[in-house]
Amino acid sequence: MGVGGGATALTACGIDDNLYFTPVETILPYVVRPEAVTPGTPTLFATTVVTGADAWPVLAVHREGRVINVMANRQTPLAAAVPAAALLELQRHYSPDRFAGPLDAGATTTWDAAIPKLASAVAKARAEGKKVAWLGGYRSGTIVGLIQSMTGGEAVFFEGLGRDAEAAAAELVFGSPALPRYDLMGAHYVLSFGADFLGGAWGGAGTQSQYAMARSANHGNFVARFALVSPHKGQTGARADDWYAAAAGSEAHVALAVAKLVAEKKGVASAFAGWLAGADVAAAAAASGLSEAAIAEIAEHFATLPSAVALPGGVAGSSAGATALAAATYVLNLVTATPAFSAGGYPGPISTLARLEALVADLKAGSVGVLLVDDGCDLVSLLPSEFGLAEAIRAAGASFSFSSHPSATQAACQVTLPISDAFEDWGDEEVVSGLWLVRQPSGAPVRDTRSLGDILLATWRALDPAGAPAGNWHERVRAAWIAAAGEMAPTTTEDAVVADAEPTGPTPAQLRWWESTLAAGFVAMPSYVSARPLTPREGQITLPAAPSGDLALHVYAQPFRRDGRYANSPWAQETPDPMTGQVWGSFVLVHPATAAKLGVGDNDLLTLATDKGSLDVGVEVHPFVREDTVALALGDGHTGAGRYADGTGVNVAALLGAQRDGSGCLAWQGARVRATAKGAKADLVSTFGSDDHLGRGWAEVVAASAWAPVGDAAAAHPGDLVGRHGLPMDVRLQKAGIEDFYELPEHPVYRFGLTIDTDACTGCGACAIACYAENNLPVVGKVKAKQGREMGWIRVNRYITDGDVHFVPLMCQQCGHAPCESVCPVLATYHTLDGLNAMIYNRCVGTRYCANACPYGARRFNYHTYLWPEPLNLQLNPDVVARTMGVMEKCTFCVQRIRRVKDAYRDRGFNNRVPDAALRKLTACADACPSDAITFGNLNDEASVPASSRKSGRNYIPIPEIRTFPAVNYLARASFHHAPAAHGAGHGEGHGDGHGEGHGDHHPTEAGGAEPPAHH
């Protein structure tokens, strides 16, 4: 692939309209054009993005030698989505700090020198009888065998935000460390003890999409209810219908108590007597600070709702009782025998902290001759220094890092052999037992990196020329899969002839199968398809002592920076934190009452101190932490990790000691801090204005009980929106049936529209980052972000009403009567025949009037000409121009994709129209959304989601009084805490909450919603 390199010069380099001073461009054609690639047309390669404990099947968008974007792979049984992490991996692929080649003691070296050095080090260690050890994150598939054979089993696969407690609990409960599989699709009740299963770092492989299905009444007349037991309600927890703010470290007590109550209700208490032996409702209530009634309520829901599933704690639950909590959730799931819980989750080797600590001990003892450290998580910076990892690595006889990015772990190693990443390498991963994701390189290597497999094979060959397997890594993966494929690769007689002629290589049939597998990107083994129930052993759960002490420090994983591996990704830093809107820095979440007690407010510096150390960090006053808890995110505060990560935020590890749970797993939680106001201001940058939408109709609620029976069926339960109010239209105009002063524009073929389901939206930020990737949005940095100049076209608004969090992604609404259009003096923005609000950058003179007129605040202005440090510019989309200074920009509904898909259909006939199926996930945001919250379509097509959803009772349009007739409509969030609105004989009757001023009638829709407003 990529023979001869890139084709044309990079075209996305700015609106350069100064014609006399533009240099002549050069054209570099391919030497021989690869068959799959057509210059000017994107080619999609199935690939896998591995991110910590999670792996995602995606499609890499290839243009002229480089990967410019990732799109959802809609063929795999896993979620068809582009999670934020996949996009962050893409940006990491082009990180300007990525190593240009191998390093030896900080100095550049060559592969020809580095690989023999590795081989001789291994040979020396083996000769001396010392260990060759491997330290890295989770790896699965063919590479694991290669690693094992190189290290002789001395391999530690440990993730900082890993699932070792779950594995330990699985060992305890089921006798095997293989993780169970969760399938939330049919769950009516999801009880989470803190796992970030909605777009976070937990790694539940598709749980976000499954939950979206369970949540939507359109998939089976129910609305899943989500309860969270955790001292902190983060991005995932924000979706919880019920938040039980249990004290930090008491989740296991609650889980076991609930299990006991549920078992009693189900009458299976005796069967689980051993496991439930430690359960005590009163003690759990005392430890957690929840009332017994609350625990009983959880149990009631868990036992009575048709299908309930409990999720473990993830990072949030990794306290001294981490394993106990995981085990308790397993027991809870077993008690109800829920189909949502079965065997066959992530199978790959998971090492516990104890295993890592054993390696550290070996290293310090000098018994490790060669230490190989994988790319990925920067454990030295992530883990508290009390674990002594850095010193241990330095104590190794020889240490080799495979990191292609600078990090503290890499800096501790002697030699760095940067490896190719997922976009450059062959590979396979088993994300869920039996489901294999296979990948091929999808772009030319950005830097002089080598495949990990090839490095290991070359080392092996150097050590043992006779015993080493033949072929390169690509051939090894192919051979492994062709061997595994067996009868999956049907052979024809013709193939047999060819096979006879060349007996050693793979047959054409096998090659055909392999190529189609690569094209699909996955192989589903029979073991994946069949769900296997889990049966518990006998045993019991030892609950840790109830936590006590002053302020608890709750450590959580920020959804973008995660364990810090994306801290050097500008997108991860500049995409606003979903809950706080914070960018470029760390902040401690403090409950308003606690903040008042400490005498601090937003952006005040707070000194947090433990006996391990202290940190000064800015305060974000936040209602979603317990009063006795402060919350601080992991993954920031790096040194030597690259230009964007260094000096950004603080590293929470400085406050922590070596915390382990009862079974030797990593415990992030449990530290107690002393907090004192520093009396100085921090430098926090929040992109959020007011938390409250002031009843302006930006965030709406529908009663779940009203939605569940009918879903979004047409004309169902109109007027169910709770608390909807707006300005009534003039009665005389209503009587005359006049909607607006001017007629709505005509849209002869398409009127593109977008539907955003705020009930499905989890605020995971995938859409916002996908938009950055697709539309060449520049990253402006902290200083400019503080001035409010971040360029995101999608603003995931977060409103808090009555303790509920609403995520409302807001982009240009492509209004029918757009206030921005009529005010532009030079017609740089206008309404197209397709109903889009066009923005012609090169016509814009920059009056910024449009942004002032826009009631949605959707327009962004280029205050400067932003550039992309090399090689981040290689990620730029050539179909979208990079804007220069002084130009307004905004969401275009990905007009470049619309243009392409229209062209693609026009290729087959001049008057061909694009069908709905090709439009649904066309825009980058809709394509990315793992919750299926965003759907694109043609409003002129009654069957399209945007057209049909406008007839739903959940449909609403923010600030409809402005009468802009937007092309984006929103669907209200379902609530279990609101009674359905009273149904009157017709709409327009009051809805019981007192401030309703008419509801269904002010959703101006042009497609279908033509009924005249009937206001009382």
Partner 1 sequence: MGHAATTVHHDEPGVRLKAVYAHLDCLLAGIARMKADHTEGWTVQSPLPRHEILEAVYEGRPSPVRWWTLTGAIAGLHIGFLLPALTAAQWPMINPGGKPVVSLVPYAVIMFECTILFGSIATLLGLMFHSGVPAMLDRSLKDPRVTDASFTIVFPSAPRSQVEKLKAALVATGAIEVTTGDDAVYEVPNV
Partner 2 sequence: MASNDAIYGYDPRDPAAPNRPTTYGQVNRDIIRPLLRPTALWLLAMAIVVGMMVWGGFAWYQQITMGMGVAGITHPVMWGVYIVTFVFWIGIGHAGTLISAILFLVYSRWRTGVYRASEAMTVFAVMTALLFPVLHLGRCWQAYWFFPYPNQRQLWMNFKSPLMWDVFAISTYFTVSAVFFYVGLVPDIAIFRDHSKGLIRKVYGAMALGWHGTDRQWHHYMAAYGFFAAFAAPLVLSVHSVVSWDFAMAPTAGWHSTIFPPYFVAGAIFSGCAMVISLLMPMTYLFKWEPYVNLWHFENLAKMCLLTSGILTYAYGMEYFIAWYSQNPYEWAIFSWRATGDYAWAFWLMVFCNCVAPLVWYSKKMRTNPWSLFIVAAIINVGMWLERFNIVISSTAHNFDPQTWALYSPTWVEVGVLIGSAGWFGTWFLLFCKTFPAVAITEIKEMVAPPVKGAGH
Partner 3 sequence: MRRLIPALAVTLFSGCWVAEYDQVGDARFPLEPHRLWPLYTWNDGQIAAGKTTGPQAALEQPIPFSHNIHAGTLQMQCEYCHAEARRSIHAGVPTLGTCMNCHSQVKLDNPDVQKIHMAWCGEPKCTLAKDAYGQLVPPPNAASPAWQRVHDLPDYVYFAHKRHVQAGVQCTECHGQMSLQGQKLADPANPDAEPSVQVVNVRETTLQMGWCLDCHASHPTIDQNYGEQADLRRAELKDCWTCHK
Q: Which of residues 728-747 bind partner 1 (CB under 8 A)?
A: 740, 742-745
CB atoms inside a 10 Å sphere around CB 792: 26
**Per-residue interface string for the shown chain with partner 2, residues 641-680, x marking contact by CB under 8 A:** ----------------------------------------
Q: Which is nearer to partner 1, 817 or 1002 (CB)?
A: 817
For position 821 contacting partner 1 by CB under 8 A, the verdict is yes
Q: Looking at residues 866 to 925 of the shown chain, list those that interact with partner 2 (rule: CB under 8 A).
A: 885-888
Report the C-alpha gap between 296 and 817 in whole angstroms: 53
For position 970 contacting partner 2 by CB under 8 A, the verdict is no
Q: Which is nearer to partner 2, 552 or 844 (CB)?
A: 844
Closest distance to partner 3 from the beta carbon of 163 (Å) = 34
Would you put residue 810 in left (φ > 0), alpha (ψ -120 to 50) or beta? Answer: beta
683 makes contact, choosing from partner 2, partner 3, partner 1, none, with CB < 5 to 8 Å by partner type, with none
Q: Which is nearer to partner 2, 317 or 781 (CB)?
A: 781
For position 795 contacting partner 2 by CB under 8 A, the verdict is yes
For position 826 contacting partner 2 by CB under 8 A, the verdict is yes
78 makes contact, choosing from partner 3, partner 2, partner 1, none, with CB < 5 to 8 Å by partner type, with none
Report the C-alpha gap between 138 and 166 in whole angstroms: 14
Out of 293, 727, 833, 979, point to the residue binding partner 2 (CB under 8 A).
Answer: 727
Q: Which is nearer to partner 2, 91 or 862 (CB)?
A: 862
Q: Which is nearer to partner 3, 30 or 976 (CB)?
A: 30
Out of 787, 833, 903, 1014, point to the residue binding partner 2 (CB under 8 A).
Answer: 787
Stretch that binds partner 2, among 43-51, 441-449, 682-690, 915-923 (CB under 8 A): 682-690
Stretch that binds partner 2, among 104-112, 473-481, 690-698, 898-906 (CB under 8 A): 690-698
Report the C-alpha gap between 777 and 783 in whole angstroms: 17
Out of 476, 693, 782, 920, point to the residue binding partner 2 (CB under 8 A).
Answer: 693
Q: Judge contact between 373 and 135, C-beta under 8 A.
A: yes
Amino acid identity for residue 17 in this structure: D
Q: Judge contact between 923 and 894, C-beta under 8 A.
A: yes
E runs forming strands in 885-982: 888-889, 934-938, 955-956, 968-971, 973-975
405 makes contact, choosing from partner 1, partner 2, partner 3, none, with CB < 5 to 8 Å by partner type, with none
Q: Judge contact between 106 and 415, C-beta under 8 A.
A: no
Q: Looking at residues 960 to 989 of the shown chain, list those that interact with partner 1 (rule: CB under 8 A).
A: 965
564: which 2 tokens? 């810090």
DSSP per residue, 366-409: T-EEEEEE-SS--HHHHS-GGG-HHHHHHHSSEEEE--SS--HH
Out of 215, 562, 717, 817, point to the residue binding partner 1 (CB under 8 A).
Answer: 817
**Per-residue interface string for the shown chain with partner 1, residues 743-782, x marking contact by CB under 8 A:** xxx-------------------------------------
Residue 429, Cβ density class (10 Å: 0-12 exposed, 13-18 middle, ≥19 buried): buried
Out of 677, 710, 716, 823, point to the residue binding partner 1 (CB under 8 A).
Answer: 823
Out of 788, 984, 986, 992, point to the residue binding partner 2 (CB under 8 A).
Answer: 788
- Residue 853's SS3 state is helix
**Per-residue interface string for the shown chain with partner 1, residues 87-126, x marking contact by CB under 8 A:** ----------------------------------------
C-alpha to C-alpha distances, 612 to 385, 554, 675, nearest whole angstrom? 9, 16, 14
Contacts of 552 (CB under 8 A, 6+ apart): 231, 247, 248, 249, 626, 628, 629, 630, 669, 670, 671, 672, 673
For position 13 contacting partner 2 by CB under 8 A, the verdict is no
Closest distance to partner 1 from the beta carbon of 848 (Å) = 16
Report the C-alpha gap between 846 and 843 in whole angstroms: 9
Report the C-alpha gap between 69 and 61 in whole angstroms: 5
Closest distance to partner 2 from the beta carbon of 962 (Å) = 5
Our measurement of the distance from residue 499's CA atom to the centroid of its chain's CA atoms, rounded to an integer in Å, reads 45
Q: Which is nearer to partner 2, 727 or 1010 (CB)?
A: 727
Closest distance to partner 3 from the beta carbon of 781 (Å) = 4
Q: Lay out the sheet containing 427-432: strands in order across.
A: 427-432, 435-439, 522-524
Q: Which is nearer to partner 1, 85 or 967 (CB)?
A: 967
Q: How many CA atoms lie within 13 A of 266 on its CB side?
A: 28
Report the C-alpha gap between 604 and 617 in whole angstroms: 8
Out of 614, 832, 865, 896, point to the residue binding partner 1 (CB under 8 A).
Answer: 832
DSSP per residue, 173-217: HHSS-PPPEE-GGG-SEEEESS--TTTSSS--SSHHHHHHHHH-T
Of 93, 38, 98, the residue nearest 70 (C-alpha): 93
- Residue 299's SS3 state is helix
31 makes contact, choosing from partner 2, partner 1, partner 3, none, with CB < 5 to 8 Å by partner type, with partner 3
Report the C-alpha gap between 381 and 353 in whole angstroms: 16
Q: Which is nearer to partner 2, 525 or 727 (CB)?
A: 727
Q: Which is nearer to partner 2, 226 or 624 (CB)?
A: 624
Report the C-alpha gap between 51 and 562 in whole angstroms: 10
695 makes contact, choosing from partner 2, partner 1, partner 3, none, with CB < 5 to 8 Å by partner type, with partner 2
C-alpha to C-alpha distances, 197 to 46, 415, 653, nearest whole angstrom? 24, 37, 23
Closest distance to partner 3 from the beta carbon of 782 (Å) = 9
Amino acid identity for residue 411 in this structure: A
Q: Which is nearer to partner 1, 540 or 822 (CB)?
A: 822
Residue 512, Cβ density class (10 Å: 0-12 exposed, 13-18 middle, ≥19 buried): middle
Out of 959, 968, 974, 1007, point to the residue binding partner 2 (CB under 8 A).
Answer: 959
- Residue 28's SS3 state is coil
Report the C-alpha gap between 53 and 204 in whole angstroms: 8
C-alpha to C-alpha distances, 239 to 212, 214, 325, 799, 806, nearest whole angstrom? 11, 13, 21, 12, 8
For position 890 contacting partner 1 by CB under 8 A, the verdict is no
- Residue 719's SS3 state is coil
For position 824 contacting partner 1 by CB under 8 A, the verdict is yes
For position 861 contacting partner 2 by CB under 8 A, the verdict is yes
For position 847 contacting partner 1 by CB under 8 A, the verdict is no
Q: Looking at residues 345 to 374 of the shown chain, list those that interact with partner 1 (rule: CB under 8 A).
A: none
Closest distance to partner 1 from the beta carbon of 902 (Å) = 16
For position 857 contacting partner 2 by CB under 8 A, the verdict is yes
Closest distance to partner 2 from the beta carbon of 947 (Å) = 25
For position 57 contacting partner 1 by CB under 8 A, the verdict is no
Contacts of 168 (CB under 8 A, 6+ apart): 177, 323, 326, 352, 663, 664, 665
C-beta contacts of 868-873 below 8 A and 24+ residues apart: 868/778, 869/96, 869/643, 870/96, 871/94, 871/96, 871/446, 871/447, 872/91, 872/94, 872/95, 872/96, 872/570, 873/10, 873/12, 873/13
Q: Judge contact between 244 and 228, C-beta under 8 A.
A: yes
Stretch that binds partner 2, among 47-55, 57-65, 275-283, 855-863 (CB under 8 A): 855-863
Stretch that binds partner 2, among 254-262, 489-497, 756-764, 785-793 (CB under 8 A): 785-793
990 makes contact, choosing from partner 2, partner 1, partner 3, none, with CB < 5 to 8 Å by partner type, with none
Closest distance to partner 1 from the beta carbon of 891 (Å) = 18
Chain residues binding partner 2 by CB under 8 A are 688-696, 698, 727, 784, 787-789, 795, 797-799, 810, 819, 822-827, 830, 843-849, 851-853, 855-857, 860-865, 885-888, 958-959, 962, 964
Chain residues binding partner 1 by CB under 8 A are 740, 742-745, 816-824, 827, 829-833, 965
